[in-house]
Structure formats: C-alpha cells, structure tokens
Amino acid sequence: MGEKYSMEQEEIFSKVMRAGRRTYFFDVRATKAGDYYLTITESKKFTNDDGSFHYKKHKIYLYKEDFHEFKENLEQMIDYVIKEKGEEVISERHRSDYTKQEDKPAQISEDSDLSEEQPTKTNFTDLDFDDI
C-alpha cells in the first residue's frame, strides 16, 4: 500500500468549528495498529502586507489513555470560567480600552453629516474566510 492510501485511511471522523479568524479541526485518526486517537488542530489566518495570506497551525495529539483525564480537566476549567465570569463575553460589551460601553445610544450633533460615516475603532466589516 502506498503512502497516499494510508493517509486517506488514517482520518476516520472529522468536525470543523469556525471561531472568528480561527478554525478548529477535530479529527479521529487511526494508528498503524488500527487503534484510534484524536487530533485537535487550531488554524489561524494571517494577512501579509502585500495582501497575501498564510496560516499558522497548532496541533494536539490526544490518545485514548488520556481521554478521561483530559475531559475531566476541560470540563472543570469550563465550569470554573462560567461560574466565575458567566457566559457573557466581556470583549463584546467593552471598548478596546476595557471601559464599559454606555447602554444608551450616543447623541448625534446637529452639525454631523450622517451621509458620510467617519471610520472609528468600532467600525469594521466582519468577513468570513474559508480557512482551508
């Protein structure tokens, strides 16, 4: 069997999770002996000055003998964060300087021109790129 055949057989089950500029890949793979293990890959897109882009990837290999302890630790960490800080994402309710935003809308002065929006730190376009 060629290397191409063994690479195709190695990936058993996969899930993809997009999270902003990051994409997470969860893959069940097979060892040469036929046992299964999990890989978790984080891929993050970076844009170069010339407009081209590249990806940085980080991969975790998780073997069956570590599943139980890994799952317990992950659940404990998630439960702790939610208990201490809740589920609200702080960066979405604060400005970039971490001061809390006002709940009421900002006043618009009479001499401001609404037809021409001035760029600010909060004006952006959310683009969804296919990472791979």
- The reply to whether 94 falls in a domain is no
In this predicted structure, the answer to whether residue 115 has a pLDDT above a threshold of 70 is no
Average pLDDT of span 94-120: 52
Sort 23 into a burial class: Cβ within 10 Å, 0-12 / 13-18 / 19+: buried
In this predicted structure, the answer to whether residue 102 has a pLDDT above a threshold of 70 is no
Give this prediction's pTM: 0.59
- The reply to whether 28 falls in a domain is yes
Phi first, then psi: what are they for 10, rounded to 5°? Answer: -65, -40
Could you give the number of structural domains in the chain?
1
- The reply to whether 95 falls in a domain is no
Average pLDDT over the chain reads: 77
Sort 37 into a burial class: Cβ within 10 Å, 0-12 / 13-18 / 19+: middle
24 lies in which domain range?
Answer: 7-86
Q: What tens digit of pLDDT does each residue of 17-60 get?
A: 999 889 999 999 999 899 999 999 999 988 888 989 889 999 99
Here the CATH number for the domain that contains residue 52 is 3.10.450.700
